[in-house]
Amino acid sequence: MKTIRWGIIGCGDVTERKSGPGFQKAEGSSLVAVMRRDGEKAADYAKRHNVPRSYDDAQKLIDDPEVDAIYIATPPNAHMEYTLKAAEAGKPVYCEKPLGMSSEESRKMVAFCKERNVKLFSAYYRRALPKFLKVKALLDSGAIGEVRYVHLSLNQSISEKDKSEGGSWRVRPEISGGGLILDVGSHALDLLDWFVGPIKEVEGFALNQSKTYAAEDIVSGSWKHEHDVLGTGVFCFNTYKDEDKTIICGSKGEISYSVFANGEPILIRTEDGEQIIEVDRPPEHIAQPMIQTVVNELLGKGICLSTGESGSRTDWVMDKLQGK
């Protein structure tokens, strides 16, 4: 096989620019089919993006003999259902995050795929972006010595959409599994899993302070990574500003970065002073570098750094932080 032919289940907003075109532009990859329950919208997406076929039934896309692998881009409440169906058909899955509505669901997804020898990848695309590859390289080179602790601070104001009745699906627990920590905070936690090592113990608190929507709007907690690295974090989605900062402190200095301000530089502080490392802005289709690693692994040319197992670990951490 020289080309992985993809089918997308759930061709909504996230696939318009962030991910969908990446399946067409990655080397050794093509997008041959899309599915949405609204058949007219699926056909419109296919027409606008030059995709050969569209469906309004996920099973028909999964059973399409010209579809080799499945990208699941629905809200989380459908992730497990479609992952299990794709795996039953023997087709690899690249699934949006969080993997499941809960860590229990994501563990089932991982186990089901493993039993059938089907590869499962999670869509934490920041692991493949140059900015975060640079942070990883700095940590691995010992630029700040041995890591002692990490601290996450993530602040967002309430969007106009979430102020509307019921809010977006991202703050409706029956669809998303919880609040914005699952959609947004998950990226910051997944990066720490990669940078520092898996989190082994977690305690957290989750509250709905503003009462704007059904889900919690602030989460805080503390945790312990492997190798006795400690961590703390506050995820506030009802404040006056949109800002985030992660600090990784070591025996010889510290590294700080923003997860979401893509063009913001990396800052290193040591006894010798400060060093600012400028970073390139991410590509037009921000998920394309990660998609390329998935394609490379499926073609036997490399490995993907974001797996079902790593995604499931992040699901577990978020469950614990929410007190589940």
Cα dihedral 41, 181, 280, 231 in deg (nearest 10):
-160
Give residue 262's pLDDT.
83
Give residue 160's pLDDT.
94
Instruction: Name the nearest CA neighbour of 191 among 137, 244, 135.
Output: 135
pLDDT digits (tens, 9 = 90+) for 198-243: 999 999 999 999 999 999 999 999 999 999 999 999 999 999 999 9
pTM of the model: 0.96
Q: Going from the N-terminus, what domains does the chain have, and what CATH number goes with each?
A: 4-126+288-308 (3.40.50.720), 130-281 (3.30.360.10)
Distance of alpha carbon 306 from its chain centroid, rounded?
9
**Percentage of the chain exceeding pLDDT 70:** 100
Model confidence at 1: pLDDT above 80: no
Residues constituting the chain: 324
β-sheet bridge partners, residue 92 = none
Rounded-to-integer distance, Cα 247 and Cα 258, Å: 9
Give residue 165's pLDDT.
86
The letter for the amino acid at 118 is V
Check the CA dihedral 192-98-112-32 and report its sign.
Answer: negative
Q: For all residues of the chain together, what is the average pLDDT?
A: 97
Rounded-to-integer distance, Cα 247 and Cα 93, Å: 33
Give residue 22's pLDDT.
98
Model confidence at 189: pLDDT above 80: yes
Model confidence at 159: pLDDT above 90: yes
Give the residue-averaged pLDDT of 298-320.
Answer: 98
Confidence of residue 163 (pLDDT cuts 50, 70, 90): very high
Cβ 235 vs Cβ 216: under 8 Å:
no
Give residue 140's pLDDT.
98
